[in-house]
Chain A
């Protein structure tokens, strides 16, 4: 502490000492004020971050609905200027404020040293300590408290001032892994979230579909839903290539539902109620991987460039390697960096495989047997014992089987946790693939003949420990559609499709957000989103565009439009943001306008399709059952730009990673690339 030279007796009457004392006091106050300014500036800089201008983005969405609103434009311009001014002002304050703070500290220390040098006295023994032995430890403790407080304050300041200490996106997974349901964070949208202009959607079928489930239907359903191909049915589709799609949520003019009179017609699309801003919900660290069924978004959108355009498996042209697959299965391959994962199985064994992306060799395989699983369920030939596609978050890899076995392995094949969920009661065998959402592993387990069986549920597990975080019963019978995670107006939701309900769940608690009764039959195609709508479709029902903005039962208020042509039975739909494409197993492709629901075109392919399609840039990669990849240009007309055979029958949806496509054939795994 500074001794007061003015009121003491020592040589402090030296005017320089007095000046030094007063300067030190002034610097003390200055440093405290400057520190406060810097802290406030740091907090304000975060609020006015031009990288994440939430308010501005909301205004832009509003403007897209009312493009001629001049007042809104003025407001946007003013806000934009304000954000930029504040940002650069905070940069200025941070830069020069820190310099001033350091300068003041230096002056302060110099003054202290000067005062100390002029106040040297012979230290005297502290008589109080001799008299009161407890005093010394007390002083020591106080010193420790004070020092600890100062260090804590410094650390706190560093944490607050350091804007880039930890990237939200980087720790996104772990944050959610450790968070439990009770304290679900209202997480800010991670910066990496890409609002793709389009997303693939699956289609729910009409609830009135009266057709009894046939093995082929079930097979088809399983494929689409699980992302794994069923025997004889198509698998998930390919994704495609190139450049990142622009992200902005397209402005939508929601269509007025006309439920009472039946199917809303395209012309009914004109109402202007709350339009949702829908975006993908995966962290940016997944954007270069293919870690789930239909990619990180679950909707068949590939954001990479350099996806191969030409190959010929029969001539070994642009085939990097081809590796035999030991056990059958229709699950689609997933890829994380140099690891390809998929499952295979039969009545006697179920295995998880890890192949090397570079060489096509088996890195490891893990034979699954979970204690308690002693019954092998009946499954359809088209579904099999390895229909569900795996998922990985880059640290752990998860697999589920129609036997009810759920396993989590690390990247070396070592089991981290195993669970037996009970033998499923599903006529054709379970096929819904796994979903990862906010660090949780989501399992949709739809069973029984209908909702009265009360066997269906959706569950969330902690990816790290396997602990069940929540379980919500579902009012549906068996289905095979894979759920997807999307952000609706910045809030993450899990969208599920079943008969008859499309239901949205809160991933933090498992509570239902909204439901819409619009599906029927054997629901296998997965949901997608397109523009402001969640889109579902299923054979025997309709294609339905739902506004996901309400609460509770939105059947009468949330349906924007419906269509009845080209309804899929297995293959999940796809969207490029402006259009929705449906694919039937028999090879019929039907294109709808996203905003109006108007049917734009339809085309009949020569071959069957079971794999779900993928959008790469402006191209649709569509794999038929003969192993030929059709490359179509997304647009208002059918336009096939390429055909590439792999030389083997294919049902699973391929995986798309940088420069490569991984295709699971009937017997072999193919790596396409140059």
Chain B
């Protein structure tokens, strides 16, 4: 008897179905709306045109070895024989010895291309982000060496400790989809 009373009529079943379907659709719509209105994720990055190569990146990052590394815009590089990013301006010779080289960890390595050109590559495992090379390149070269935050290391802190101390306010938020601010001709177009 009771089972017969609980039995739904076809009309009630359809009405319940419509209500349930409506709720599901409304939920989906709200979810889609929420997803579409979600702000694009952003990450920290150095604007290379604001950066003054002060060297604070090397000592201000929360990581023991800074997440900031030197990058090289090959499209800009002059492939110079005497690279002002690699060699100190007050060097006593042009050899790649400790007394002549800028980088304190020998992170810049060069290879012969053809006379008188050399290719320069940064070993990021060695680079500590001191910006000595990019400073030298900016001062005497064309600025093809520049500093960037590497996102395979960066923790993307809510408040970047480098940004706090950056005298040039060069640390900015950029879309996570385009996390690097590369120089000049090699702007990232996706």
Contacts and interface: CB of A to CB of B under 8 A. Distances in A.
A251 interface: yes
Contacts of B56: 167, 169, 191-192, 284
Interface in B77-116: 88-90, 92-93, 97-99, 104-106
A466 interface: no
Nearest to B88: A248
B166 to A, nearest CB: 9
Contact of B98 (A77, A164, A289, A617): A77
Contacts of A658: 50, 168
Contacts of B165: 167, 169-170, 285
B52 A287 contact: yes
A50 interface: yes
A465 interface: no
A408 to B, nearest CB: 23
B104 A84 contact: yes
A163 B53 contact: no
A427 interface: no
Contact of A246 (B58, B126, B135): B135
Contact of B54 (A63, A192, A245): A192
B52 A246 contact: no
Contacts of B164: 170
Nearest to B103: A50
Interface in B146-179: 161, 164-165, 167-169
B64 A51 contact: no
A80 B97 CA distance: 10
Could you say which of B49, B128, B140 has the most chain A C-beta atoms within 10 Å of its C-beta?
A: B128
Nearest to B165: A170
A76 B167 contact: no
B130 interface: yes
B61 interface: yes
B62 interface: yes
A243 B98 contact: no
B23 interface: no
B9 to A, nearest CB: 60
Interface string B46-74: 00011011111011111111000000000
B124 interface: no
Contacts of A51: 55, 58-59, 104, 128, 130
A91 interface: yes
A503 to B, nearest CB: 30
Nearest to B50: A658
B32 to A, nearest CB: 41
B54 A64 contact: no
Contacts of A409: none
A169 B56 CA distance: 8
Given A53-B104, A244-B135, A285-B167, A192 B90 contact: no
A244 B139 contact: yes
B50 A246 contact: no
B99 A60 contact: yes
Nearest to A81: B98
Interface in A268-307: 284-289, 303-306
A471 interface: no
Contacts of B168: 287-288, 658
- State which size class the interface on A falls in: 35 or more
Interface in A47-89: 50-51, 53, 56, 60, 63-64, 67-68, 73, 76-77, 79-81, 83-84, 87-88
Could you say which of B59, B126, B140 has the most chain A C-beta atoms within 10 Å of its C-beta?
A: B59
Nearest to A73: B99
A323 interface: no
Contacts of B49: 306
B171 to A, nearest CB: 13
B139 A64 contact: no
Nearest to B141: A243
B92 A284 contact: no
A617 B164 CA distance: 27
A51 to B, nearest CB: 5
B52 to A, nearest CB: 6
A51 B60 CA distance: 12
B59 to A, nearest CB: 6
Nearest to A194: B54
A77 B90 contact: no
Given A51-B59, A243-B139, A287-B52, A163 B64 contact: yes
Interface in A113-145: none
B62 to A, nearest CB: 6
B97 A77 contact: yes
A197 B64 CA distance: 31
Contact of A167 (B52, B59, B128): B59
Contacts of B130: 50-51
A249 B88 CA distance: 11
A571 B153 CA distance: 51
Given A77-B97, A192-B54, A167 B60 contact: yes
Nearest to B138: A243
B127 to A, nearest CB: 11
A313 to B, nearest CB: 27
Contacts of B104: 50-51, 53, 80, 83-84
Interface in A154-193: 163-164, 167, 169-170, 191-192
Nearest to A285: B167
B97 A73 contact: yes
A94 interface: yes
Contacts of B63: 164
Nearest to B54: A284
B105 A87 contact: yes
Interface string A639-669: 0000000000000000000100000000000
Contact of A288 (B65, B135, B167): B167
30 contacts: A50-B105, A51-B55, A51-B58, A51-B59, A51-B130, A60-B90, A63-B92, A64-B92, A67-B93, A76-B99, A80-B98, A83-B104, A87-B105, A88-B105, A88-B126, A95-B64, A164-B60, A164-B61, A164-B161, A167-B60, A169-B56, A191-B59, A197-B89, A243-B143, A244-B139, A246-B90, A248-B90, A251-B90, A288-B52, A658-B50
Given A64-B90, A245-B139, 18 more contacts: A50-B128, A50-B130, A51-B128, A73-B92, A77-B97, A84-B104, A163-B59, A164-B60, A167-B56, A192-B56, A192-B167, A194-B54, A197-B89, A244-B53, A246-B136, A250-B90, A285-B165, A288-B169
What are the 3 A-B residue pairs with the smallest beta carbon separation, nearest first? A80-B98, A50-B104, A67-B92
